[in-house]
Chains A and B, each alone.
Chain A
Amino acid sequence: SAVISQKPSRDICQRGTSLTIQCQVDSQVTMMFWYRQQPGQSLTLIATANQGSEATYESGFVIDKFPISRPNLTFSTLTVSNMSPEDSSIYLCSVSGTEGGYEQYFGPGTRLTVT
């Protein structure tokens, strides 16, 4: 398994601003993923971030709103841009490929409230 940390753990932001969330893993991983969990809902994949290539976004998510960086095999960032109250969610990063398989492990999440 992998140990995953996220910063910040929570934040309250004003509408129209942007927040960058960091995800750090304690070992090199092939695949990193970003998910959104809206209040009372399940998890929805935002994008897949592979090192050395552009992130792959799921339907309904665009790079201008959720730019992602993946500078190396242990780190990624997700920015939530031009926030509105509808962006209030938990944002989670996950990783897989630590043992060559599909199993995914999740970070503790970033709880974002937009006022």
Chain B
Amino acid sequence: GIQVEQSPPDLILQEGANSTLRCNFSDSVNNLQWFHQNPWGQLINLFYIPSGTKQNGRLSATTVATERYSLLYISSSQTTDSGVYFCAVVQRDSGGSNYKLTFGKGTLLTMNP
């Protein structure tokens, strides 16, 4: 199956710092999502981004599908950014009727106040 690799696995930031998280995937995909899992376990949709660049406030994401990677940028980080950031890719099955989301292992972001 497809491999999804995220880096770095752990990240410690001071408030106000900027960071870039990376997601590499091993095969072509139908789509890609970024999620934030907060310390209470809730998965929050950040971006649904098969290609190109999107921005939402302090966050932005870029996917280069031809090169099989995506980047998540966090600017001016805040304590509420703590948690795990997951990249997940969508692939259709061989029959084409079903599809599935395969997750990377995540990046654990710890904020220092």
A residues with CB within 8 A of B: 1, 31, 33, 41-45, 48, 50, 56, 58, 90, 92, 94, 101-106, 108-109, 111
Contact = CB atoms under 8 A, between A and B. Distances in A.
A103 B30 CA distance: 10
Nearest to B92: A102
A111 B101 contact: no
Contacts of A102: 30-31, 48, 90, 99
Interface of B: 30-31, 33, 35, 41-43, 45, 48, 86, 88, 90, 98-106
Interface of B, helix, strand, loop or mixed by DSSP: strand
Contact of A109 (B42, B45, B102, B106): B42
Nearest to B93: A56
A111 B37 CA distance: 14
List the 6 shortest-distance A-B pairs measured between CB atoms, nearest first: A106-B43, A103-B48, A102-B90, A102-B31, A42-B103, A43-B103
A42 B102 CA distance: 10
Contacts of A48: 98, 100
B86 A43 contact: yes
A84 B101 CA distance: 27
Nearest to A59: B1
Given A43-B86, A102-B30, A102-B31, A33 B101 contact: yes
Given A103-B33, A104-B33, A45 B41 contact: no
B110 to A, nearest CB: 14
Contacts of B43: 43, 92, 106, 109
Given A109-B41, A109-B42, A103 B31 contact: yes
Contacts of A90: 41
Given A108-B42, A111-B41, A42 B105 contact: yes
Nearest to B47: A103
Contacts of B103: 42-44
Contacts of B90: 102
A82 to B, nearest CB: 25
Contacts of B33: 103-104
Contacts of B104: 42
Nearest to A97: B99
